């Protein structure tokens, strides 16, 4: 596709359930980012990949959060034992070159509601 694609767009999970959120970056993009956006707030950095290497995971809020990008393309953000405070929009972004902030393209996000 032409842009960053995320799925599912909407997910309702029961507390304690595991969820997996998928990101298809723009083809050929080297850098991939995950951000978390709570309602009424700005996005907050979670993790960064350069190709398949996860270079920074300092923003992941707990060890229940795990991200991977095994082949340097599609990425999955997994949240184990979801809790209500995990409810947020999870944004994926990609960039064609290493750390080029000006050319970061965001997807439309995966809206997670934990009930």
How far is residue 1's CA from residue 78's CA, in Å, rounded to a whole number?
A: 23
CB of 111 to other proteins, least distance (A): 9
CB of 43 to other proteins, least distance (A): 5
What 3-state DSSP class applies to 101?
helix
CB of 109 to other proteins, least distance (A): 6
Single residue of 18, 44, 52, 85 touching other proteins by CB under 8 A: 44
Instruction: Tell me if 70 contacts other proteins by CB under 8 A.
Output: no
Strands, sheet with 65-68, edge to edge from the N-terminal-most edge strand: 5-7, 19-24, 75-79, 65-68
């Amino acid at each position: 596709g032409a842009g960053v694609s995320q799925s599912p767009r909407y997910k309702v999970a029961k507390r304690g359930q595991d969820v997996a959120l998928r990101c298809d970056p723009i083809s050929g993009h080297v850098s991939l980012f995950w951000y978390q956006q709570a309602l009424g707030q700005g996005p907050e950095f979670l993790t960064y990949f350069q190709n398949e290497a996860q270079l920074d995971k300092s923003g992941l809020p707990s060890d229940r959060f795990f991200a991977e990008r095994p082949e340097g393309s599609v990425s999955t953000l997994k949240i184990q034992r979801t809790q209500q405070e995990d409810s947020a929009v999870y944004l994926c972004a990609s960039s064609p070159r290493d750390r080029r902030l000006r050319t970061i393209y965001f997807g439309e996000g995966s809206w997670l509601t934990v009930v």
